[in-house]
Structure 1
Amino acid sequence: MTAAPTGTAPAGTPPAAAPTASSVLLLHPHDSVGVARADLPAGTVVTLDGGRELPLRADVPRGHKVAVTDVAAGAEVRKYGQVIGRATADVRAGDHVHVHNLGMVASRPEHEFGAGAVRPDVLPPEERAVFQGFVRSDGRAATRNYVGILTTVNCSATAAKLIARQLQAPGALDGIDGVGSVDGVVALAHGTGCGLAADGAGLEVLRRTLRGYARHPNFGALLVLGLGCEVNQISGLLGDLDLPDDRLVVPMAIQELGGTRRTVAEGVARIREFVPDVGRAQRRPVPASELVLGTNCGGSDGWSGVTANPSLGAAVDELVRHGGTAVLAETPEVYGAEHLLTRRAVSPQVAERLLERIRWWERYTADNGGDMDNNPSPGNKAGGLTTILEKSLGAVAKGGTTALTAVHEYAEPLGEKGFVFMDTPGYDPVSVTGIVAGGANVVCFTTGRGSVFGCKPAPSLKLATNSDVYRRMEDDMDVDCGVVLEGTSVEEMGRRIFDLVLETASGRRTKSEEIGVGDEEFTPWQLGAVM
């Protein structure tokens, strides 16, 4: 992949002016394709910005690409002013451009470490926005106040869910002091914890993830539930775990308690004892600098990089300006756009750490008989995305424009302020699990096809890339970013999202919380051999 032409706008940047009435949107002057704003049948004559008329040679679905110039077979195709692949056949202006005539090209971008590392003008403390949150004894801020049941192994998953189910039943906690300040009980069940090496990367990543959840400020108390004979022993998990003084933790093992029924009864009793202590926490004003915002995208479409992702990026910039932290992740979905991030790195070391993670993924996929272009998914392609390069160029827009201050491995604690990156898979539940383990206390999730997602204990806001999916799935979508296509600026949408993040951090329930989504999405990344 060659460097972008001089003066090229960052990937994911929308048109310089508000979209016009043209039915084909051109995102950058150097682009060879535009994006269809509606389903356009063959023979339609569209007028591009500037007045040029273009007859369509094929049907083009909404959100898909239209060639606005001829492209010879083997030549590069550009969108966002960047290369998204090579033409696999001669393409004529007016053609539909997709999997039938556009293919992957090896990602070999040119890097300019730190050339675009814009240090934000962080507001002084007295000018920063505030939210109503909980403050733990270690000073960390919480946006929710849950009791968690943390499982060491899949063998204790059913018991954990049975405990939670009893306590989630209507009236189960009625009459207990402080219950009104407790957001609920969530069972963190997963599919591993045994059948893996006792000293390998698999156990290391699992324990790092579980410890991140154990330390998460959105938990006021924890029941740690194991079977008793697993590789991931409770003692090993909790050993040297630096927890705040006010964190209540009770370990329990099913084998020691005499089986499932007795464990469930004991677990229910112990959590009922927790509730008054957990309920003593009360919301109070907290500066926005204590927010850690996780960003993710799922079910992306051709509008993701035009509406929701850059709008979320504008909100990220605003949060960073208020002294907070925002996290971009999904390493396979920045592949091909990594040069846009290394350009923003605060140091060569930060840039190199990102590139090392990219190289790791290239080796990892090759060792497993795949390649990086196995992404996009079928749903992404139906929505108009063709190659991983195109998807990544839109995905990185979630990270805004400020300097990249750190690169973390999966589930590592997020200690730095500003814009940071975490190495995670692109698979949404696994990715967000790592981000929350790192300390994210709010999540924003963009979607074009209509993902349904929650991630207790962190509230998750879902941002629809187009108004159609927002209307069709209004019970799941929190924000309609499709209005950007009607003239609302990305900056205005960013301010709306930032304000909603503050409201959500203050206790406003998200659509996923209202429905009850978020109990089943805890999915630690499973590395290494299963034995």
Structure 2
Amino acid sequence: MPKALKIAPPDDVLTMLEAGVAGDRVAFDGGSVQLIDAVERGHKVALHAIERNAPVRKFGFPIGRATRSIAAGEHVHVHNLQTALAGQHSYAFDTGANVVTPLPSTATFMGYRRADGRVGTRNEIWVLPTVGCVARTAERIARQAEARVAHLVDGVHAFAHPHGCSQLGHDLDGTRAILASLACHPNAAGAVIVGLGCEENQVAALLERIPQARRGSIRFLVAQASADEMAEGVALVEELARAAMAVRSPAGLDALVLGVKCGGSDGLSGLTANPLVGRMADHVTGAGGSAILTEIPEIFGAEHLLMARAASRATFDAIVTLVNGFKQHFIDHGEPVSENPSPGNIAGGITTLEEKSLGAVQKGGTSAVVDVIDYGVQVRARGLTVLEAPGNDAVSSTALAAAGATVILFTTGRGTPLGFPVPTVKIASNHDLAVRKPGWIDFDAGMVLDAGMDAADAALLQRIIAIASGEETAAERNGEREIAIWKRGVTL
């Protein structure tokens, strides 16, 4: 295996595919360079001399500035490279000439068709607590009910969280929006909402956010008003499960809603797993389906690439407002907008937020950005949508599920066992992770480096189709099903 990925100018650095020692020569398009330092896999080496304060380029764009002179063959990382990000920016709208229209895909999966026209990838009953006080009660109801209805549905799952009380205004509204959107998810044939009775997030107020057409598959109970909340809850799940019996039928990729996410990224994520997921987003949007990109603080430094693909001036303005608003949120709390990457990202070779973001936005593919939606809102357009949510893995993945994603593609270079309400496909950026953690990883995107992007594209698409058709992900097999709600306001 070569020690470095072949690249073309104008990049100033090369990402190592495997560790190299001082004296090794590594090849790139147009030449080679001799290593001055030992360089770990996923880390960067300078292709030529870089002057102090000069921009350093990767993916064809600046990823920061050199803090001192860097020699050709020298390791480039936190000791000699720093972010150039600051606060808010002004942006200019263009005509969307940077959009690439993907070819439509004729692939199909076996899904569950719902009365409203949406198609689920699972046929489950979800138990949703309004407040943390009954989170464990909801879990007990789900466990007891599943034993009775396993032959009727794909599963019964409760999603515990600590919120729903001692919240005010916008903060409480966000909790309510997430729970209401989850209750309406196409993978949930029915939902039981479990309230306590005295919480801020009252059941009645939550039900007001659920469309009338969906309420026939919603049941609720208030524990303080119930003679036996366990027996009542289990009975409600059984009632919904008997009404939810369904069979899978063929559906095109136009019926798929794909959420895209990265977590625990490394230096190879932006070269293998993320662009590969971008191709999956293009397959789905090209077929007339929907893809959702989020993690707004992890597009800082690369937001111009999404803005250049805005389908309209209104969408462009919405992206600008979202990005600058998120930056102002950091500034208002006295935090720099560049307080990223994480320690794990840095250990994996990512140096600055610009580098992380330029890799991360590739998950959105190349199609036009057609919509921007607020946290807790369900996807409403076919094509690529940008969703308001932070970078935190659990919070952003929960937001993707609430927005209507029926499958989440989650790329990682470091690994994580977490799973979320919908099938979460873990895609390793490198062979080593896939080999070390087969109980976590569903697909090895390291094959991009061996077999090429086209072969990896075909293999991953088939894997997604199998999972959307019912094959379990690693997280599902492990019982990893979590939600996390974004807490932004004061706590009473």
TM-score, length-scaled by structure 2 = 0.95
State the SS of the aligned residue for 1:381.
Answer: helix
> Is the 1:319–1:498 contact (alpha carbons within 8 Å) kept by the matching residues of 2?
no
- Structure 1 residue 118 and structure 2 residue 118: aligned? no
User: Which residue number corresponds to residue 189 of structure 1?
Assistant: 160
Give the direction of change, closer, same or farther, for the CA distance of 1:180–1:28 in structure 2 (3 Å limit).
farther
Q: Is the 8 A contact 2:93 2:313 kept in 1?
A: no
Q: Is the 8 A contact 1:137 1:245 kept in 2?
A: no
Change in CA separation of 1:245 and 1:525 when aligned onto 2, cut-off 3 Å: closer
Match of 2:49 in 1: 70
Q: Does 1:466 pair with 2:430?
A: yes
The SS at the match of 1:24 is coil
Matched residue SS, 1:332:
helix
**Residue 122 of structure 1: how far off its partner (Å):** 6.3
The one-letter code sitting in structure 1 at the alignment partner of 2:490 is A
| Other-structure match for 2:210 | 241
Is 1:483 the equivalent of 2:447? Answer: yes
Q: CA RMSD in A?
A: 1.8
Q: CA deviation at 1:492?
A: 2.9
- Structure 1 residues 29-79: Cα deviation after superposition (integer angstroms, max 9, x where no partner): 111110111111223233443343x22221111100001111111111111
Q: Distance in 1 between matches of 2:356 and 2:379?
A: 26
CA displacement at 1:180 relative to structure 2: 2.9
Determine whether 1:269 maps to 2:235.
Answer: yes
Match status 1:45 vs 2:10: no
- Corresponding residue of 1:13: none
Structure 1 residue 431, shift from structure 2 partner: 0.3
Query: What's the offset of the Cα at 1:119?
Result: 6.2
Q: Secondary structure at the match of 2:14?
A: strand
- Taking the aligned partners of 1:62 and 1:117, their CA distance within structure 2 comes to 32
Deviations 1:431-463 (A, max 9, x none): 01111111111111000001222112x111111
Measured in 2, the distance between the counterparts of 1:340 and 1:330 equals: 15
- Structure 1, unaligned stretches of length 5 or more? 1-20
Aligned counterpart, 2:360: 395
| 2:46 aligned partner, one-letter code | A
Alignment of 1:107-506 (within 5 A): 111=92, 113-118=94-99, 120=101, 123=104, 128-168=106-146, 172-173=147-148, 179-197=150-168, 200-244=169-213, 247-258=216-227, 262-278=228-244, 280-456=245-421, 458-486=422-450, 488-506=451-469
| Partner AA of 1:27 in structure 2 | I
Aligned equivalents of 1:121 and 1:51: distance in 2?
33
Residue in structure 2 matching 1:36, options 3, 16, 38: 16
Equivalenced residues, count: 490
Q: Secondary structure at the match of 1:295?
A: strand
The answer to whether the 8 A contact 2:177-2:209 is kept is: no
**Could you tell me which amino acid in structure 2 is paired with residue 50 of structure 1?**
G
Find the aligned partners of 1:270 and 1:404 in 2 and give their Cα distance: 41
> 1:22–1:49: 8 Å Cα contact kept in structure 2?
no
Q: Shift of the alpha carbon at 1:247?
A: 4.2
User: How far is 1:246 from its partner?
Assistant: 7.8
- Matched residue of 1:424: which SS? coil
Distance in 1 between the 2:473 and 2:27 partners? 41
Answering whether residue 474 of structure 2 is matched by residue 511 of structure 1, we say yes
Distance of 1:228 and 1:493 partners within structure 2: 51
Q: Output one character per residue of 1:460-503: Cα deviation in whole Å (capped at 9) or x when no partner.
A: 111110011001111211111101112x2223322322222222
1:59 is aligned to 2:38? yes
1:274 Cα deviation after fit: 2.9
Corresponding residue for 1:17? none
Determine the C-alpha separation between the residues in 2 that align with 1:309 and 1:397. 6
Cα displacement string for residues 200-236 of structure 1 (whole angstroms, at most 9, x for unaligned residues) = 1112211111111111111112111111011110000
Instruction: Specify the code of the residue in structure 2 equivalent to 1:118.
Output: V
**Would the aligned equivalents of 2:276 and 2:456 in 1 still touch at CA under 8 Å?**
yes
8 Å Cα contact 1:109/1:336 also seen in 2 = no
User: CA separation in 1, counterparts of 2:213 and 2:106?
Assistant: 26
- The 1-side partners of 2:235 and 2:260 are apart by 37
Q: Secondary structure in 2 aligned to 1:503?
A: helix
Question: Aligned AA for 1:226?
Answer: G
Question: After alignment, is 59-68 or 27-36 more displaced?
Answer: 27-36
What displacement does 1:26 show? 4.6
Q: What displacement does 1:240 show?
A: 5.0
Question: What's the secondary structure of 2:385's corresponding residue?
Answer: strand
Percent identity reads 40
Q: Is the 8 A contact 1:337 1:396 kept in 2?
A: yes
Is the Cα contact below 8 Å between 1:128 and 1:289 reproduced in 2?
Answer: no
> Which segment is superposed worse, 410-419 or 393-402?
410-419
DSSP 3-state at the match of 1:443: strand
